[in-house]
Amino acid sequence: MNREDENVARAVRREIPAIARAVDAIVLRMNSGGRLIYVGAGTSGRLGILDASECPPTFGVSPNLVRGVIAGGRKAITKSIEGAEDRSADGARDLRKLHLTKQDAVAGIAASGTTPYVLGALAYARRRGALTIGLTADRRSPLAKAAHIAIAPEVGPEILAGSTRLKAGTSQKMVLNMLSTAVMVRLGHAYDNLMIDLGEANEKLRERAQWILMEASGKDASAVTRAMRQTGHDLRLALILLKRGVSAVQARRLLKQSGGNLRKALNE
């Protein structure tokens, strides 16, 4: 299995130009108020939901910005719903519930590229004028042909024949990581390689937030703690306060004047 997994990164590397095109197109739409919506069935659907669910705590964005939709609904996240992936009309129906617009981007995920649920969703997305992305292991598949942008890491036969949760699933996870992370960085939800919009939902994340500010500002723990307290635990404001030596009120004004552009607010 390990020897076979070595092929996955190479297959994904060959798709970097397509991934880059997808990132550019998603960012363009998000800047106009759009969303990124993953659609899949089984393992593919669960991977989309996983990636979407990690965006709010990692990048401090709304849960509505990146969404995951799976054939069979919420129950299918933890339990196989037989036959759910075979109903193409359900894919369109589930996207219709999200009030899809032409500013949205829909990424259909299916290793085979033939899943009716995903194809139905992409067909509906195209009719609505949304951007469509097909993530599949077969570039000759209906999904790759139906999408505006096809991302097709061809990883070869699985060591357990037909079990696409293995190499195909790994390649999907890698591509989704790249899509969401690159999009969020392009939208300004990172400072260098630091998660500047990190949510502080638990003690581990609170400690990580403090480390991020110490790393970004070069200040010690006591200075960072004071800055966090003064800014209501807003990492962006705290970093401006620390690096520019201003008050919390001034930091908020600088960030507002920059239109939320942290680099500009820091005069960098």
Cα–Cα distance for residue pair 41/81, rounded to 1 Å? 9
Active-site residue, from 54, 154, 200, 215: 54
Active-site residue, from 6, 15, 85, 268: 85
The answer for residues whose C-beta is within 8 angstroms of residue 5's C-beta and 6 or more apart is 167, 170
- 82 a catalytic residue: no
Please state which CATH class domain 203-265 belongs to.
mainly alpha
Mean pLDDT score of the chain, rounded to an integer?
A: 94
Cα–Cα distance for residue pair 170/47, rounded to 1 Å? 9
Cα–Cα distance for residue pair 153/108, rounded to 1 Å? 14
Give the domain ranges of the chain. 2-186, 203-265
- pLDDT at residue 101 in the model: 96
- pLDDT at residue 198 in the model: 87
pLDDT > 70: percent of the chain:
100
Check whether 140 has a pLDDT greater than 90.
yes
- 6 a catalytic residue: no
- pLDDT at residue 186 in the model: 94
Q: What is the pTM of this model?
A: 0.91
From the options 3.40.50.880, 3.30.70.1400, 3.40.50.10490, 3.30.420.130, give the CATH code of 2-186: 3.40.50.10490
pLDDT in tens, 161-190: 888 889 999 999 999 999 999 999 999 999
